[in-house]
Each structure stands twice: as structure tokens, then as C-alpha cells.
Amino acid sequence: DSAIQYDPARAKALLDEIGVKDVNGDGFREMPDGSPLEVTLDFSATQPPTGVHVRKNEFIAKDWNAIGIKTALNPIPSTSMDELWATGKKMTNADWGVGDGPNHLVYPQWVVPMEPTRWAPLHGNWYLVKGTTREGAEADKDPYERTPPRVAPEPGSSIARLWDLYDQTKVEPDVNKRNKLVWDMMKIHVEDGPFFSGVAANTPRIVLVKKGLNNVPKRDDLALGGLVNPWIHPTPAVYDPETYYWDNPAAH
């Protein structure tokens, strides 16, 4: 709940507790060692100004500035944004949402860094060449100078263990054993993570329904209020549209 409730006073107290305080009196907090703290919210410049991500970023910046975290919006050309992210040169991506389910192995990229677009992009690029002739190539080069830029995880590290568990799921025929491997991956995220963090949860999404179309489920009819944002969970297909009906079919 601490990640969901809007509680500026508690946020300030938590920042004070870890030593992130305003030490020079300019209204913004510094790092515990006194160095400047400024967060940039990077997002694609092609996002519409009144779209959900730009408006969301404006709210985030407003709220964070209000509690003393200096925050700035940073629109970046979309081609540059993709390249900077994939090459590990950007730490924030403020125009995406994270959603998964109902089976993490159908869309495992959020759980396992196996490609560069979600998280740990340099490790994701390594996984893409893992087991190929390119895996050991360019070993003498700086990871950022390799094609693609990539780095191998340290043996026994969190990512190495995630990869090992995921690779086991690909050849495990027993569904219960596969689920156990997924839970083991989740434990790594809980015990060693978080490896990436969002800023809002359960954001509402308006769904328009034409008057006269009946049996369309409402928020209160659905577990967790429904789930309409993730691509892996196609809406309205999962909500039985074959049971919708018109009150006056002749009018349609």
C-alpha cells in the first residue's frame, strides 16, 4: 500500500529518514553526501501533449517537486530514445506501463531480461546472442562498444539465476514444476530487487460503451476492477463480448 497511497507527509518522512534532505535551503533535497539530486523523466517527444503519459509525467513532476525532489520533464526524439535505452544510456522510461499476466511465461520479458526494451538492456542484448557464435565475440571490447552493446551477468548474480530458471521452464513439461520455477524467479525479484520500479498502480482507463449495448461488465463486476491496459490481456476479448447484446437489435 505504501506504493499506492497518496501521502506526501509520509514521503517526506521517508526521504528524511534516508538522509535525503534540503541542506542548502533552496527548497530541494540533496543526496546524503550533499551532492545535487535531480530526476529527469525521459519520454518520447512524439507522445501527444494531452496524452496519458505526458499528463501523468506532469503530475509526477508536480508531486515530486512539492516534496523537494527536483524533477524535470525531458522529451527526447523517439529514435534517440530507443537507441539510448537499448544501449544502457538511459535510466528512466516515463512513457510505458508495466503489466503482465495471467501467465508470466507467455510474456516473460518483464520478469527476465531477455531483450533490451524492458529492463537491464545490456544483459538483455547478451541473452539475444547467448548460445550463438556471437556470444564470445568482441570480448576484448568495452561492453558499450560491442554490437549490440551487451554484457554478461556475473556468475551466481540475480540475472544469471533468473536466466537459469527461465531456461529450465522452456524444457519443463510438467505445469506444476514450471509454476514452481516461476515462483522461484519471483523470489529473486522480492529478495534481491526491485530491479525496476513504477510510480503508480491501478491507473483507471475509461471504456466507452454505446447506449443500448447490454451485459458489458462494469468495474464492480470484475476481479481487481478489471484489467484493460496490458497488451497481453486483450480487452474486450477476455470479457466475453459474445454475450453482449443490443436492447433493440433492429436499430443497429
For residue 21, list its beta bridge partners. Answer: 30
Query: Residues of the chain with pLDDT > 90: what percent?
Result: 64
Task: Assess contact for 122 and 130: CB atoms under 8 A.
Answer: no
What does residue 213 show for φ and ψ, rounded to 5 degrees?
A: -90, 115
Cβ(90)–Cβ(81) under 8 Å?
A: yes
> What's the CA gap between 113 and 125, in Å, rounded?
9
CB 72 within 8 A of CB 40: yes
Condensed to tens digits (0 to 9), the pLDDT of residues 116-167 reads 988 999 999 999 999 998 888 999 999 999 999 999 999 999 999 999 999 9
Residue 57's H or E segment, with its range, is: helix 52-66
Q: Which of 93, 73, 74 is CA-nearest to residue 83?
A: 93
DSSP H or E run through 164: helix 158-169
Q: Give the whole-angstrom CA distance, residue 50 versus residue 188.
A: 38
Residue-wise pLDDT tens digits, 16-38: 999 999 999 999 999 999 999 99
Least confident of 98-102, 171-175, 229-233: 98-102
* pLDDT at 1 (0 to 100): 55
pLDDT given at position 2? 58
Q: What phi and psi values does residue 75 have, to the nearest 5 degrees?
A: -70, 135
Strand-strand pairing, 70-76 and 38-44: parallel
pLDDT at 62 over 90: yes
- pTM of this prediction? 0.79
Which position has the higher pLDDT, 6 or 33? 33
Checking if the pLDDT of 169 tops 70, the result is yes
